[in-house]
Chain A
C-alpha cells in the first residue's frame, strides 16, 4: 500500500497498525467517545460504516461504561438498500451489537424513490432529500435508543468534499457545522454526531476492510451521479493525484480557520420545528418542509391528471 501523501510504502501489517494508531489518536484528541456514552453507529452496510462498526466494537465492546447500538436508515431506494441492509444485519449479528432499522416510508410518509418520482431530479437533487431524511431519522432513532452520541463513517474524502461543496454553493451556515463533532449540544433532543474516521482517506478504509475480511456492500447509489458531490469528488481526486496531500490540506485548513470564524459568526438561531419538534433553523425543519412540498406537488399532479394519477 502506497501512501502518496507521505511517500510511504507499507505492508499489510504496518498499514493496519498505522490505521489503528490514527483512529485511536483522533478519538482521544477530540474526545469523541467518553465514559458513559451510548453510541449509535450509523450503519448503511457500505465500507465506511461497516469498518466503523468493527473499529468501535474492537475498541469499546469490553468497556462496561460505554455501549454501542447500530442504526440503519432505510431511505427506500429499490435494489440498493435491501442488499446493504442484509450486510448490516449480518455484521451486527456477528459482533453481537443491537441493530435498529428506521425507514423513510414509516417516518417520512414515502420512500426516497417515491419522492423522486413526484419531484423529479431537477428541482431538488435526490441527494438533497436523502441527506435531510437520513440526518433527521438518524437523530430520531438515536434518541429513541437512548444514545448520547451518533458516530458516522465520514472519511477524509467526504470531509474535503464537504468543505469545497460549501464554498461552491456559498453555504456559510453549513460550513460552520463542519468538524469532528457536529451539532448543537445545547438543543434538547439533538444527539451530537461524531466522526471517528474523518482523517482516514476513503481508499484506506476500503483497504482496511479488504485486509481484515470485513464484509461490506460495494453497491453504488443509483442517484449519486446527480449530486454536486460527484463533480467535487472528481476535482479533488484529480488534484490529489497531481498534488498528494490535497485532501488533508483542505480539511486541516478548514479545521484551523473555522474555530476563529465561528466565534464571530451569527447564523440561524436553533429552534424546535413547529411540526415535529426536531432541531430546526426556522419555524419548520427541512424534513417537514420537504414532506409538505411533496404533498403539494403530488396533489398538483393529481389535479393535472384529472385526479386519476
Chain B
C-alpha cells in the first residue's frame, strides 16, 4: 500500500539517487537509494523503524510512502524519549 503513493513523481529508469539524511538527534550524512525509492525504503535501508521516527522531507512532514528525488534533504526525528 505504502509504495503506491507518490508514484507520479518517480522517474523511470534504473540507477541511484543521492539524498542528505539528518538524524535528530544525530549527524547528517549522505545516503544513496534506488531511483524511485520512497521515504520508507530509505528508512529500511538505514535500519530505522518507522514507528520510532517522524520524517520531514525538505522541511515538510510527509507520509513515508512519499517518493524521494535526487538532492532531497530528509530529516529523521526520533520520537523516543522515555525510560
Contact = CB atoms under 8 A, between A and B. Distances in A.
Asked whether A and B interact, the reply is yes
Name the interface size band of chain A. Answer: 35 or more
Chain A contact residues: helix, strand, loop or mixed: helix
Name the interface size band of chain B. Answer: 20 to 34
20 contacts: A2-B65, A46-B81, A47-B79, A47-B81, A157-B51, A202-B51, A202-B79, A203-B52, A203-B79, A210-B54, A218-B24, A218-B81, A220-B80, A221-B83, A224-B80, A229-B82, A229-B83, A233-B80, A240-B51, A241-B49
Interface in A84-107: none
The 9 closest A-B pairs by CB, nearest first: A221-B83, A206-B79, A224-B83, A237-B51, A2-B63, A46-B81, A237-B49, A127-B83, A206-B54
Contact of B61 (A4, A126, A211): A211
Contacts, number: 74
Nearest to B43: A241
Interface string B32-68: 0000000000000000011111100000010111000
B73 to A, nearest CB: 17
A221 B81 contact: yes
Interface of B: 1-2, 5, 24-25, 49-54, 61, 63-65, 77-83
Nearest to A246: B51
B3 to A, nearest CB: 12
A2 B50 CA distance: 11
A152 to B, nearest CB: 12
A297 interface: no
Nearest to B50: A241
